[in-house]
A and B are shown apart, each in its own frame.
Chain A
Amino acid sequence: MKASFGNSLRSQQRHGARRLPPWTALATMAAMLLASLVIACGVGAYPIAPSTIVRMLLQGVGFTAGQPIPAEQQSVIWSIRLPRVILGALIGAALGVSGAGMQALFRNPLADPSLTGMSGGAALAATSVIVLGASVAPGLAHLLGAATLPLAAFAGGFAVSMVVFRLATRAGHTSIAMLLLAGIALNALAEAAIGLFTIVASDTQLRTLTFWRLGSAAGATWQAVTVAAPAIILASVILISRARAYDALALGEAEARQLGVPVEQLKLLTLAGCALAAGTAVAMSGMVLFVGLIAPHLVRLACGPGHRVVMPGAMLIGAVLVVGADAAARSVAAPAELPLGILTALFGVPFFIALLLRQREARSL
């Protein structure tokens, strides 16, 4: 029997990482998310102190907490900040959990919805709806209403990831190099098609297309939150409930099958769950890169690789990352705003290269 340690981050363990117990870790992450939500509500061109926000939230749910809040601050928080940070948290949760799902499925920490073409496919489907939807199938778009974009993005992401998965998998073995290369190819195709749409797009459509390319949560409304939340929560529940099967899959496809895991069904379910989460995120905020790559990795560093922690943890940490990045996007160049996707890429690229170097050290790429 040969033990091969491909697909692994060796140095992570070489130093004998001290790990947090699962429930402590998840509670800590949830607390971090709560804190980031409160702080992010106050950040921006019109700053509001965190204590005011906490007071207002308490008053909002019926407590009498200190003196009343000025109406101006109330309206900034309720109608601008709160939907935006909540949408940011949903997007981050979706990207984090789908990144963890992809990494579990491909047994490799380099998998991510944006690198494997899933986000590109979702963005292409969403843009084609924006540009062509009203003229090609107005009745259908009207029927689906606000869910049109997320549904189209889900379908696009799912279709592209199925193609990438087929290309990268041979005889039950998924080549990570093939996966990333196929992802590049399909991303390029999606990018080209989106470029083509810019030619036929009207001026207002063109503005929306720019928004897709850079990624932003600036369009947040309560309506967007109510559309995104059910889809993202459903996808997260699906993916998190498969945690034990993902642990088994880490042993290999044949081994997982021998343990009684319905592997083919698990693959489809995982790709569908990831496409639903990542597709909805893309429909809401465009291309926010690298969150799906970073979040699961941070959780593994702190708590080890067990998926019963990695899956919900990546969801929480992804939310913290996007809420934080969006707060930074609103405040670094205030009153102007930076696109969210640019900020996450600035942090994500060095991180991705560090992961690549580790894999090169483990000679598994």
Chain B
Amino acid sequence: MLAANGVGLAVDGISLLQAISISVRPGRLLAVMGPNGAGKSTLLRVLSGDLPPTGGEITYDNLPLARLSGVQRARCRAVVQQRSSIAYGFSALQTVLIGRYPHGGHGTLRTDRAIALRALERAGAAEFDSRSVETLSGGEFARVVLARALAQIDGVAGSRYLLLDEPTVALDPAHQHDVMRLLSRMAHDEHVGIFVILHDFNLAARYADEIMLMRAGSVVAQGAPNQVLIPELIAQVFGVEAVVLAHPTESRPVIVING
């Protein structure tokens, strides 16, 4: 379990996160939602170890994050950032192979290659494995970045976590659902713990096991989609009026924003 226990972060006297306690459990998909500036991406950076918290503690399977080395962290959690870029004309396959960095010296180059190709396949990016990432569209590149994260934690024994910051933003609807289906499969079939920041209520309602709403650096609500995505909470967190309908064939809410 990846847990934050009363985590706070203040930068130059400004408090960005206040006393946040959450847990990302292997086998569960946790969606994090909130208005711009709510601290979602900051929380992701703190959970990944990128920013040390100024209060509280992060633990990975009960071990304090601060005590894990960079490579130990890299083997159990992969991060997909919101803005990604790569210098120079690496091919999609080379980019994914870079994700094998923390396993250097263990797998042979050939097994790394097989892992990278499979990751590209799963992320729906197999068709452009040999193309330079500089020639890819934003959505295609986003899938390569996702594949890099998949390759990073492939074949790791023990708990694994994926932390993703709006992985569906550059994608068309079909690929948005492909990516969310993949994440949901990774959680339920492969026991990966997933923390994903989303802006689309209906994607979150459809795929998340649990939704957390954030506002101004604090957690406002946390629970199953039909407990959290209710008009009162949506109005309180996002300042918009929403109508929540029942899905005609599935047991999940459909959210319509009235503005």
Task: Spell out A's residues near B (CB within 8 Å).
Answer: 1-10, 12-14, 17, 107-109, 244-245, 247-248, 250-252, 254-255, 257-262, 300, 304-306
Query: A207 vs B18: C-alpha distance in the bound complex, in angstroms?
Result: 67
> A250-B90, A257-B50, A304-B91 are known contacts. Are A5 and B85 too (CB-CB below 8 A)?
yes
Q: Which residues of A contact B82 (CB under 8 A)?
A: 1-2
A to B contact number (C-beta, < 8 Å): 132
Query: A3 vs B45: C-alpha distance in the bound complex, in angstroms?
Result: 19
Give me 14 A-to-B residue pairs in the complex whose CB atoms sit less than 8 angstroms apart, sorted by A's number. Answer: A1-B84, A1-B138, A2-B84, A5-B85, A7-B87, A7-B88, A9-B89, A12-B89, A13-B134, A255-B81, A260-B75, A304-B91, A305-B89, A305-B94
A259 touches B169 (CB 8 A): no
A1 touches B80 (CB 8 A): yes
Q: Which residues of B contact A262 (CB under 8 A)?
A: 70
B39 to chain A, nearest CB (A): 17
A305 touches B70 (CB 8 A): no
Apart from A5-B85, A7-B87, A305-B88, what 19 extra A-B contacts exist at CB < 8 Å?
A3-B84, A3-B133, A4-B83, A9-B89, A12-B89, A13-B134, A14-B135, A17-B89, A107-B88, A109-B88, A250-B86, A255-B81, A258-B49, A258-B79, A259-B152, A260-B72, A260-B101, A261-B70, A304-B90
Q: Name the contact of B145 in the complex, choosing from A1, A244, A245 (C-beta under 8 A).
A: A1
Q: Name the contact of A252 in the complex, choosing from B84, B135, B136 (C-beta under 8 A).
A: B84
Q: Does B48 contact A (CB under 8 A)?
A: yes
Q: Which residues of B contact A1 (CB under 8 A)?
A: 80-84, 138, 141-142, 145, 165-167, 169-170
Query: A8 vs B90: C-alpha distance in the bound complex, in angstroms?
Result: 10
Query: A12 vs B87: C-alpha distance in the bound complex, in angstroms?
Result: 13
Chain A interface main SS type: loop
B98 touches A250 (CB 8 A): yes
Q: Which residues of A contact B50 (CB under 8 A)?
A: 254, 257-258
Q: Name the contact of B78 in the complex, choosing from A9, A109, A258, A304 (C-beta under 8 A).
A: A258
Report the interface size for chain B: residues with CB under 8 A from the other chain. Answer: 49
B101 touches A247 (CB 8 A): yes
Query: A341 vs B101: C-alpha distance in the bound complex, in angstroms?
Result: 39
Q: Does B114 contact A (CB under 8 A)?
A: no
A3 touches B85 (CB 8 A): yes
Q: Name the interface residues of B61-86: CB closer than 8 Å to any CB of A.
A: 69-75, 78-86
Query: A248 vs B90: C-alpha distance in the bound complex, in angstroms?
Result: 11
> A8-B134, A10-B134, A258-B78 are known contacts. Are A252 and B85 too (CB-CB below 8 A)?
yes
B74 touches A258 (CB 8 A): yes
Chain B interface main SS type: mixed
A108 touches B87 (CB 8 A): yes
Q: Name the interface residues of B103-144: CB closer than 8 Å to any CB of A.
A: 104, 132-138, 141-142
Interface centre among A12, A257, A300 (most CB of B within 10 A): A257
A259 touches B83 (CB 8 A): no
In order of increasing CB-CB distance, the 8 nearest A-B pairs are A260-B74, A305-B88, A13-B132, A3-B141, A260-B71, A107-B87, A13-B89, A260-B70
A247 to B, closest residue via Cβ: B98
Q: Which residues of A contact B72 (CB under 8 A)?
A: 260
A244 touches B135 (CB 8 A): no
Q: Which residues of B contact A261 (CB under 8 A)?
A: 70, 101
B167 to A, closest residue via Cβ: A1
B148 to A, closest residue via Cβ: A251
Query: A108 vs B85: C-alpha distance in the bound complex, in angstroms?
Result: 13
Q: Name the contact of A250 in the complex, choosing from B87, B135, B137, B145 (C-beta under 8 A).
A: B87
Query: A337 vs B47: C-alpha distance in the bound complex, in angstroms?
Result: 63
Q: Which residues of A contact B137 (CB under 8 A)?
A: 3
B86 touches A244 (CB 8 A): no
Query: A260 vs B77: C-alpha distance in the bound complex, in angstroms?
Result: 11
A302 to chain B, nearest CB (A): 13
A255 touches B70 (CB 8 A): no
Query: A305 vs B91: C-alpha distance in the bound complex, in angstroms?
Result: 9
B84 touches A255 (CB 8 A): yes
Interface centre among A9, A14, A260 (most CB of B within 10 A): A260
> A13-B135, A254-B50 are known contacts. Are A248 and B101 too (CB-CB below 8 A)?
yes
B94 touches A306 (CB 8 A): yes
Q: Does B99 contact A (CB under 8 A)?
A: yes
Q: Name the contact of A9 in the complex, choosing from B80, B88, B166 (C-beta under 8 A).
A: B88
A2 touches B138 (CB 8 A): yes
B75 to A, closest residue via Cβ: A260
Q: Which residues of B contact A8 (CB under 8 A)?
A: 87-89, 134
B134 to chain A, nearest CB (A): 5
Q: Name the contact of A260 in the complex, choosing from B69, B81, B88, B91 (C-beta under 8 A).
A: B69
B17 to chain A, nearest CB (A): 18
Q: Does B56 contact A (CB under 8 A)?
A: no
B164 to chain A, nearest CB (A): 9
Q: Does B102 contact A (CB under 8 A)?
A: yes
Query: A56 vs B82: C-alpha distance in the bound complex, in angstroms?
Result: 62
A3 touches B142 (CB 8 A): yes
Query: A310 vs B124: C-alpha distance in the bound complex, in angstroms?
Result: 30
Query: A9 vs B79: C-alpha distance in the bound complex, in angstroms?
Result: 26
Q: Which residues of B contact A5 (CB under 8 A)?
A: 85, 133-134
Query: A255 vs B166: C-alpha distance in the bound complex, in angstroms?
Result: 16
B140 to chain A, nearest CB (A): 8
Query: A4 vs B82: C-alpha distance in the bound complex, in angstroms?
Result: 11
